[in-house]
A and B are shown apart, each in its own frame.
Chain A
Amino acid sequence: MRDDIGQGKIILPAKITRDAVINIRALLSHPMLTGMSRDQAGIPIPAWYVKEVEVIYGGERVAHFEWTSGISRDPFVGFSLRAVKEAPLNVTWKDNKGGVFTHSADVKFTTTTADATR
């Protein structure tokens, strides 16, 4: 069995300015098994997949996804977010076997030294 299940990351753009619509990419290591395949001994492999994903930005739920096992293994999702505040962005994946995985990234505005002194 893979030992990386539940690992993941949230990727934010390198530069974020206030009120810009930014692209968020969220990746989780998960087998996403449909329950329709069999192992080498012919024994059915039970379904194991992420059912629900929540995106929380500064305490507010901005998006949530309902998935079936039709989403590919190591599920990837890219979506937009309007960066209105500097706050943590948490993404929580919940699977059908009770697994809960949360990863986060901090939305921070890019300030150059020139901006700061102006």
Chain B
Amino acid sequence: MGDSLSRRTFLKSSALAVAGLAASASAAAAAPLLRGPDNEPDEDVKKVLHERFGTRPIREGHVTLDVPDVAPDSREVPLLVESDLPMIADNFVKGFHIVVDHNPDIYLAGFNFTAAIGAATLDTRIKMRRSSHVRIIAETSKGELWSTSRFVYTSLNGCV
């Protein structure tokens, strides 16, 4: 009995520790200033961004990404992307680009829109090889680039 109690206490405390880790991870995600250089793309990612977007500046803002902090299944990580940028005939979101730093294909997908869709929203599911930043870049018809990123923890390699 004493044994199982101590085991229970151990499980409880480790569960708390995990919860604490998750909480600090989401706190870091919520405060971009605290994230600091961690959000900085590495050389491979920079190369991909440069090939796609040239030297145009990619600024943070105007895009929201809803994704679990910890993905239960790295073969199917749900993404929900929205933007508050205008969606009118001469000024609209031309596309959302998905970049996952540590995936075999760093540039995972591009979703190109016209003004006819009325609102820039996207809902899909992606694979992730391992824990990584997931970046969304919104490109406007005027060529501006707006982005957001979230760090997603995964367990198994989902790139099957």
Are A78 and B122 within 8 A (Cβ)? Answer: yes
Tell me whether chain A's interface is mostly helix, strand or loop, or mixed: strand
Interface string of B66-105 (1 = CB under 8 A from A): 0000000001110000000000000000000010100111
Number of A-B residue pairs, CB cutoff 8 Å, is 101
Q: Tell me, yes or no, whether B121 is within 8 Å of chain A by CB.
A: yes
- Known contacts A61-B114, A62-B114; is-contact A79 B109 (Cβ 8 Å): no
- Find chain A residues with CB under 8 A from B114 CB: 60-63
Q: Let me know if B124 is at the binding interface, CB within 8 A.
A: yes
What sequence of 0s and 1s flags, for each residue 101-139 of chain B, a beta carbon within 8 Å of any chain A beta carbon? 001110111111110111111111111000000000000
- Cα of A60 to Cα of B113 in the assembled complex, Å: 12
Q: List, in ascending order, chain B residues with CB within 8 A of A79's CB.
A: 111, 113, 117, 121-123
A46 to B104, CA, bound (A): 15
Considering the chains assembled together, what is the distance between the CA atoms of A21 and B92 in angstroms?
Answer: 15
With A37-B160, A79-B121, A80-B120 in contact, do A66 and B109 touch (Cβ < 8 Å)? yes
A1 within 8 A of B: no
Residues of A in contact with B (beta carbons under 8 Å apart): 21, 23, 25, 33-34, 36-37, 57, 60-73, 75-82, 84
